[in-house]
C-alpha cells in the first residue's frame, strides 16, 4: 500500500494540473461568450441572426474580412521567403539581431503598428496614398506577420535531413534542382500552415484597421465594436461575433490540418554555412529587403515622434512625464507595467500547468484544457472584450471592478505562447530522471522542481518574456475594460490618436516609440534566453 501512495499522489496532482487551465479558461473565455448569447436572447428587441446579418450587411463584411486576410497571408509569405532562406541556411555575424528585428513586429501592439504606418504614409511615403486605406492595412499586416512565416518555415527547413540534399547533388542535380525536388516539397506544408496562421491573425485584426481604415475599410471585427459600443445594438453585435467565431474556428482547423502534413524531419538538421566572396551579395540583398519592410516603419515612427509638427523637438517625450499635461500618460505607463507583470505571472502559472498536463496526461480533461487554452490566441479580442462588458453586468460589482480582471484577460491571450514554448522543453526531459527522483522518495512537486524546472528554465524565462510583452501590448479586449485609473498605454495611444491637436499626436508618437523600445529589449532577452533547439521545436510545432 505504501508504494501505491506516490502513484496515487501523482495521479491526483496530474488531475489537478489538467483541471486548473480548464477552469481558468472556462471562466475567462467561455463565460463571456455565454453572456453574449444570453444577452442577445433576453434582449426585448432581439432579432434572428439572419435578420441581424442582413441589417449589418454581414456578407459584405465577411467578404472584406476574408479578402484582406487572404491577401495579407499571400503577401506575408512572399515578403518572408528570402528572409526564411537567410535565417535557415546562412550563418553570419548579426544573426541574433536579425532574429530580433524579425520577431519584434509580431509582439508590438497593433495600435502602435497603425501609428507607425500612419507616420510612414505621411512622411517618407507622403503623396502615395499609403497613410490610410486598404494598401496601408495590407502593408501593416505583412509587417506584423512576417515573423510567423519566418519562425514556422525556417524551423522546418533547419530540421530537413541534409543527407537527402547531398544525395540529390550526388546524382547530378544542380543546387536549384535539389532545392525544388528535396527541400521545397518538405517546406510547402509548413508554408501553407504559416499562411493559415497569418490569415487567422489578420481576420481578427482590430487596432490596425481602426487607425488605418479611417472608417472606409470595415471588417467583422470593427463592425462588432461599432454595433456593440457605438450603437449598443447587442443582437447585431452578437450575430456578427458568432459569424467571426465560425471563421476563426475554420482557420484554426485549416492551420492544424496543414501543420500535421509537414513531413518528418531529421534531428541533425541542416547545417548553416558562412558565405564567402560573392556569396555575400544575396545576404546583403536580403538584409536590405528586411530593413525596408521591418525597420523603415519603425524608423519613420521614431522620426515622426521627434518631428511631430514638422520641426525637431522632444516635446512629445516631455509630455509623457509632464506634471501638468502628461500625468495620465505617466499613470498609464505605471499601470501598464504592473498589469503586464501580473498577467505574466498568471500566464506562466496557468500555461506551465497546462503544458505539464499535456505532456503527462492523454485523457479527455487534459486534451480539452489544452485546446481551450490555445483557442483564445485566434478568437477575436473585440468579441471577448464585448463579452466581458456584458458579463460584468451580471456579476457583483466587486468582480467587474477587480484590479485582477485586466491582467487575467491579458494573461488569457499570452497563455498559448507559454504553452507553445514550454511543451517542447518538457518533452525533452528524460523520463528516467523523473523515475529516479521518485524512486528516491521525492514527491511529484519535488520531482518537478528538482528535475523538470532546471531543464526548462531557459525556455520558461523566454516564455515569461513573451507573455509580458504581449500583455503590455494587448489592445482589443482591454479597450472595453479600461477605466480612468486602469488605462493601459496602448488604449491611451488609441485615444490620443483620435483627439485633435499637435500635443496629443506628439504624445501618442512618443508613447509608441517607448513601447517599441520595451518590446525590443524583451525580444532580445527572449532570443538570448531560449535555447536554439527549443526555439526550432516550438516554431515547427
The grid coordinates of residue 330 equal 505617466
Q: What is the pLDDT of residue 184?
A: 81
Structure letter (DSSP) for residue 363: S
Q: What is the pTM of this model?
A: 0.81
CA dihedral 402, 406, 411, 413 (to 10 degrees): 140
Q: What is the pLDDT of residue 4?
A: 47
Structure letter (DSSP) for residue 375: G
In this prediction, residue 284 has a pLDDT band, given cuts at 50, 70 and 90, of very high
Closest of 442, 456, 440 to residue 531, by C-alpha: 456
Report yes or no: 232 and 223 within 8 Å, Cβ to Cβ. Answer: no
The grid coordinates of residue 135 equal 494598401
Distances (CA, A) of 177 to 173, 180, 264, 519: 6, 5, 21, 41
Domain assignment present for residue 197? The answer is no
Report yes or no: 376 and 469 within 8 Å, Cβ to Cβ. Answer: no
Chain segment 398-432, per-residue pLDDT in tens: 776 777 888 988 888 888 888 878 887 887 788 88
Segment 284-312 mean pLDDT: 87
Phi, psi angle pair for 90, to nearest 5°? -115, 135
- CA dist 116 and 131 (Å) reads 10
Asked whether residue 17 carries a pLDDT value surpassing 80, the answer given is no
Asked whether residue 9 carries a pLDDT value surpassing 60, the answer given is no
Grid-cell match 472584406, residue found:
64
Asked whether residue 137 carries a pLDDT value surpassing 90, the answer given is yes
Segment 91-107 mean pLDDT: 88
Chain segment 24-73, per-residue pLDDT in tens: 877 788 888 788 777 767 765 667 778 888 888 888 999 999 999 999 99
Asked whether residue 485 carries a pLDDT value surpassing 50, the answer given is yes
In this prediction, residue 343 has a pLDDT band, given cuts at 50, 70 and 90, of very high
CA dihedral 98, 211, 388, 328 (to 10 degrees): 90
Asked whether residue 534 carries a pLDDT value surpassing 70, the answer given is no
Report the share of the chain in percent with pLDDT over 90: 13
- CA dist 100 and 352 (Å) reads 25
Domain assignment present for residue 253? The answer is no
The grid coordinates of residue 28 equal 475567462
Q: What is the pLDDT of residue 346?
A: 92
- CA dist 208 and 219 (Å) reads 11
The grid coordinates of residue 200 equal 487567422
CATH number reported for the structural domain that contains residue 393 in this entry: 1.10.3720.10
Asked whether residue 14 carries a pLDDT value surpassing 60, the answer given is no
Q: What is the pLDDT of residue 372?
A: 61
Domain assignment present for residue 282? The answer is no
- CA dist 300 and 140 (Å) reads 13
- CA dist 420 and 370 (Å) reads 11
Is residue 273 classed as helix, strand or coil in its secondary structure? strand
Stretch among 94-98, 114-118, 130-134, 512-516 having the lowest mean pLDDT: 130-134
- CA dist 142 and 72 (Å) reads 6
Segment 270-291 mean pLDDT: 84
Of 523 and 319, the one with more pLDDT: 523
Segment 299-314 mean pLDDT: 82
Q: What is the pLDDT of residue 3?
A: 46
Domain assignment present for residue 182? The answer is no
Distances (CA, A) of 290 to 286, 297, 369: 6, 11, 38
DSSP string, 460-521: HHHHHHHHHHHHHH--HHHHHH--TTS--HHHHHHHHHTS-SHHHHHHHHHHHHHHHHHHHH
Structure letter (DSSP) for residue 28: I
Q: Which residues contact 422 (CB under 8 A, 6 or more apart)?
A: 351, 352, 355, 456, 459, 460, 463
Domain assignment present for residue 524? The answer is yes
Domain assignment present for residue 286? The answer is no
DSSP string, 213-275: HTTTS--HHHHHHIIIIIS--HHHHHHHHHHHHHHHHHHHHHHHHHHHTPPP--SS-PPPB--
Q: What is the pLDDT of residue 77?
A: 95
The grid coordinates of residue 72 equal 495579407
Segment 513-525 mean pLDDT: 88
Domain assignment present for residue 150? The answer is no
How many independent structural domains does the chain possess? 1
Q: What is the pLDDT of residue 286?
A: 93
Chain segment 373-386, per-residue pLDDT in tens: 666 765 677 778 77
Domain assignment present for residue 336? The answer is yes
* Host domain of residue 431: 1-39+316-541
Segment 89-111 mean pLDDT: 87
Of 78 and 237, the one with more pLDDT: 78
Asked whether residue 6 carries a pLDDT value surpassing 60, the answer given is no
Q: What is the pLDDT of residue 74?
A: 95
Report the share of the chain in percent with pLDDT over 70: 84
Segment 490-494 mean pLDDT: 84
In this prediction, residue 15 has a pLDDT band, given cuts at 50, 70 and 90, of low
Q: Mean pLDDT score of the chain, rounded to an integer? A: 79
Amino acid at each position: 500500500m505504501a508504494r501505491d501512495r506516490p502513484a496515487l499522489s501523482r495521479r491526483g496532482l496530474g488531475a489537478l494540473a489538467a483541471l486548473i487551465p480548464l477552469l481558468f479558461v472556462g471562466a475567462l473565455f467561455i463565460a463571456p461568450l455565454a453572456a453574449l448569447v444570453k444577452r442577445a436572447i433576453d434582449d426585448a428587441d432581439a432579432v434572428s441572426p439572419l435578420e441581424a446579418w442582413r441589417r449589418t450587411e454581414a456578407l459584405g463584411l465577411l467578404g472584406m474580412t476574408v479578402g484582406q486576410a487572404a491577401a495579407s497571408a499571400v503577401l506575408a509569405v512572399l515578403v518572408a521567403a528570402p528572409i526564411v532562406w537567410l535565417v535557415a541556411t546562412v550563418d553570419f555575424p548579426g544573426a541574433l539581431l536579425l532574429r530580433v528585428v524579425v520577431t519584434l513586429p509580431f509582439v508590438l501592439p497593433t495600435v502602435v503598428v497603425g501609428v507607425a504606418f500612419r507616420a510612414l504614409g505621411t512622411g517618407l511615403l507622403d503623396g502615395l496614398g499609403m497613410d490610410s486605406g486598404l494598401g496601408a492595412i495590407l502593408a501593416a499586416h505583412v509587417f506584423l506577420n512576417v515573423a510567423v512565416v519566418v519562425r514556422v518555415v525556417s524551423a522546418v527547413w533547419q530540421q530537413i535531413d541534409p543527407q537527402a540534399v547531398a544525395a540529390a547533388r550526388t546524382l547530378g542535380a544542380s543546387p536549384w534542382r535539389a532545392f525544388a525536388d528535396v527541400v521545397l516539397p518538405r517546406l510547402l506544408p509548413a508554408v501553407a500552415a504559416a499562411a493559415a496562421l497569418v490569415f487567422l491573425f489578420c481576420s481578427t485584426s482590430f487596432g490596425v484597421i481602426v487607425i488605418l481604415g479611417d472608417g472606409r475599410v470595415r471588417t467583422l471585427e470593427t463592425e462588432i465594436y461599432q454595433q456593440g459600443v457605438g450603437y449598443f445594438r447587442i443582437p447585431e453585435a452578437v450575430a456578427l461575433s458568432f459569424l467571426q467565431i465560425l471563421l476563426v474556428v475554420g482557420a484554426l482547423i485549416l492551420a492544424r490540418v496543414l501543420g500535421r502534413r509537414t513531413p518528418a524531419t531529421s534531428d541533425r538538421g541542416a547545417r548553416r554555412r558562412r558565405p564567402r566572396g560573392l556569396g555575400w551579395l544575396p545576404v546583403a540583398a536580403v538584409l536590405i529587403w528586411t530593413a525596408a519592410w521591418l525597420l523603415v516603419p519603425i524608423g519613420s515612427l521614431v522620426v515622426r515622434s521627434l518631428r511631430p509638427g514638422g520641426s525637431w523637438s522632444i516635446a512629445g517625450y516631455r509630455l509623457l512625464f509632464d506634471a501638468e499635461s502628461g500625468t495620465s500618460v505617466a499613470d498609464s505607463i505605471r499601470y501598464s507595467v504592473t498589469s503586464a507583470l501580473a498577467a505574466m505571472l498568471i500566464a506562466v502559472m496557468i500555461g506551465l500547468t497546462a503544458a505539464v498536463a499535456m505532456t503527462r496526461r492523454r485523457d479527455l480533461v487534459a486534451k480539452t484544457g489544452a485546446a481551450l487554452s490555445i483557442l483564445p490566441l485566434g478568437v477575436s479580442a473585440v468579441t471577448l472584450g464585448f463579452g466581458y462588458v456584458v458579463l460584468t453586468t451580471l456579476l457583483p460589482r466587486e468582480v467587474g471592478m477587480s484590479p485582477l480582471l485586466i491582467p487575467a484577460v491579458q494573461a488569457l491571450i499570452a497563455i498559448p505562447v507559454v504553452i507553445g514554448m514550454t511543451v517542447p522543453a518538457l518533452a525533452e526531459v528524460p523520463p528516467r530522471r523523473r523515475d529516479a527522483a521518485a524512486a528516491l522518495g521525492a514527491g511529484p512537486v519535488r520531482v518537478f522542481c528538482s528535475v523538470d524546472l532546471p531543464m526548462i528554465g531557459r525556455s520558461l524565462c523566454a516564455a515569461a518574456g513573451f507573455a509580458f510583452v504581449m500583455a503590455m501590448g494587448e489592445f482589443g479586449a482591454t479597450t472595453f475594460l479600461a477605466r480612468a485609473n486602469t488605462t493601459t498605454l496602448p488604449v491611451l495611444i488609441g485615444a490620443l490618436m483620435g483627439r485633435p491637436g499637435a500635443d496629443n499626436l506628439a504624445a501618442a508618437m512618443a508613447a509608441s516609440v517607448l513601447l517599441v523600445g520595451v518590446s525590443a529589449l524583451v525580444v532580445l532577452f527572449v532570443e538570448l534566453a531560449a535555447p536554439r533547439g527549443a526555439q526550432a521545436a516550438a516554431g515547427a510545432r
